Structure 1
Amino acid sequence: MLLEKIQIVIADDMEAHRRRLERIIHSDKNLELVGSAKSGYEAIAFAAIKKPSIVLMDIEMESQMAGINAAAEINKISPTTKIIMLTIHQDNNIVFAAFQTGIVDYLIKSAPKEEILEAIYSATNNQSPIRPIIAEKIRQEFARIKTSEDHLSQSFKVISNLTQSELEVLKLLCNGLKRKEIADIRTVEIETIKKQINSLLKKFGKSSTKEIVKKVNELKLFDMIKDIS
């Protein structure tokens, strides 16, 4: 038994989930529930007043990112408090946004009692693991970044080989204009635009202008291209 109990605040807008967590905490004589919040705002208030060891935090409460916003605030006002996210969300962007606030662990809300208790003790001892689900997301993110960098490098090489006219046509395509509209704006025959678009398709290695525009937008090249005169 610990000399001092681990003080815990839970935050979840669904009563059934709060009650389950309360039962889990009450089942362990080393744990003490010091606050049960129904919103991110309440979680911040409990953390400010109670300075708990652990906060078990849901993400989506009064707003979709309430738990993440609350975690960021709690880490400012009570930096020694360890925050464990307990949520249904597995979206990569949400997971990374949560860890950027300084949380120490991320569990799916349906995790068994034993896993939740283990997470609490690990966080208390500064030994929170990188869980397989998180490790896999990190691997996926590194792979995505590597692929994105490769595509970006390749696209820059293509753009560097475009003529000024082709670049202007590409800019107009990215702005959603059709071939006839582009011809009118550039005061040239539509056949000239067709030839320039065919050249773009060949240089980008694509079979349609939609593919080129999609690639440019995904890599955010449009933001750079639109400023080129």
Structure 2
Amino acid sequence: MSAVRVLLVDDHAVMRAGFRMILESQEGIVVVGEAATGIEAVTAAARLSPDVICMDVQMPDMDGLEATRRIVADPAVAASVVIVTTFDRDDYLFQALAAGASGFLLKNAGPEELIAAVRVAAAGDALLAPAVTRRVIERFAAGATPPEPAAAPAPPPIDLTEREAEVLRLLAQARSNAEIAQELYIGEATVKTHVSNVLQKLGARDRVAAVVFAHRHGLA
């Protein structure tokens, strides 16, 4: 299998060097480039074709949230973006999800969490820090909603099968594939198929987008 290609975006060179050391210590991960600003990130993403972009938020010239919007909107770039930030702020979290990020991780996370986030994003799934996941669910349960993206959300789908609706409900509870398989008494491969079908029918980029969609439209 080809190595996961990673682009590191952070305005602190020491932070980029630390991330590079952690990621390149792992077999199957290679750092293909670095950027210090959002503008550099957008350019590097188009030029280097990374699989995963680890994106800081607060940077000069253009912040990581705007850079994420532009990268996700570019049909020529297939990279998944994982926000890696010092700031545990709800506004950053929900703006990142609305921008199309596939993960949200705090910089005080352990090396193993950074590695896991890169591998999960490269596989087309999404990852939120555990504390962040709980907060997202609590906010939704309390009736809060993330900031709306520029375009209005699509109308709720009407063609989910009963099993797909069950899978979506469990996704909205931040369940992993293994946990969904155990809950529904089916194999993980079957869960992956259902998740793929759900994402396609929702027009969702990844699991995080599906969770946001489910809570917005009362499908959770």
Normalising by the residue count of structure 2, what TM-score does the alignment of the two structures yield?
0.60
For residue 31 of structure 2, what is the amino acid of its counterpart? L
The equivalent residue for 2:143 is 145
For residue 71 of structure 1, what is the amino acid of its counterpart? T
For residue 39 of structure 1, what is the amino acid of its counterpart? T
- Secondary structure (helix, strand or coil) at the match of 2:93 reads helix
For residue 90 of structure 1, what is the amino acid of its counterpart? D
Aligned match for 2:59, one of 44, 58, 61: 61
1:9 and 1:107 mapped to 2: Cα distance?
A: 16
Gaps of at least 5 residues in structure 2 are 145-220
Deviation at 1:141, TM superposition (A): 2.3
2:134 and 2:126 mapped to 1: Cα distance?
A: 16
**Residue 104 of structure 2 is aligned to residue 93 of structure 1:** no
The equivalent residue for 1:120 is 118
2:121 and 2:80 mapped to 1: Cα distance?
A: 6
Aligned match for 1:7, one of 5, 8, 23: 5
More helix by share: 1
For residue 76 of structure 1, what is the amino acid of its counterpart? A
The equivalent residue for 1:71 is 68
Deviations 1:88-113 (A, max 9, x none): 11111111001111111111012111
Gaps of at least 5 residues in structure 1 are 147-229
Task: Give yes or no for contact 2:38–2:60 (8 Å, CA) kept in 1.
Answer: yes
Higher relative contact order (CA 8 A, sep 6+): 2
1:127 and 1:57 mapped to 2: Cα distance?
A: 17
Normalising by the residue count of structure 1, what TM-score does the alignment of the two structures yield?
0.58
The equivalent residue for 2:162 is none
The equivalent residue for 2:17 is 19
Q: Which moved more, 1:75-84 or 1:46-55?
A: 75-84
The equivalent residue for 2:35 is 37
1:143 and 1:114 mapped to 2: Cα distance?
A: 30
Deviation at 1:139, TM superposition (A): 3.2
**What is the percentage of aligned positions where both structures have the same residue?**
24
For residue 104 of structure 1, what is the amino acid of its counterpart? S
Deviations 1:176-208 (A, max 9, x none): xxxxxxxxxxxxxxxxxxxxxxxxxxxxxxxxx
In our comparison, the structure showing a higher alpha carbon Rg is 1
For residue 66 of structure 1, what is the amino acid of its counterpart? D
The equivalent residue for 1:46 is 44
Deviations 1:116-155 (A, max 9, x none): 1111111111232344322222234235537xxxxxxxxx
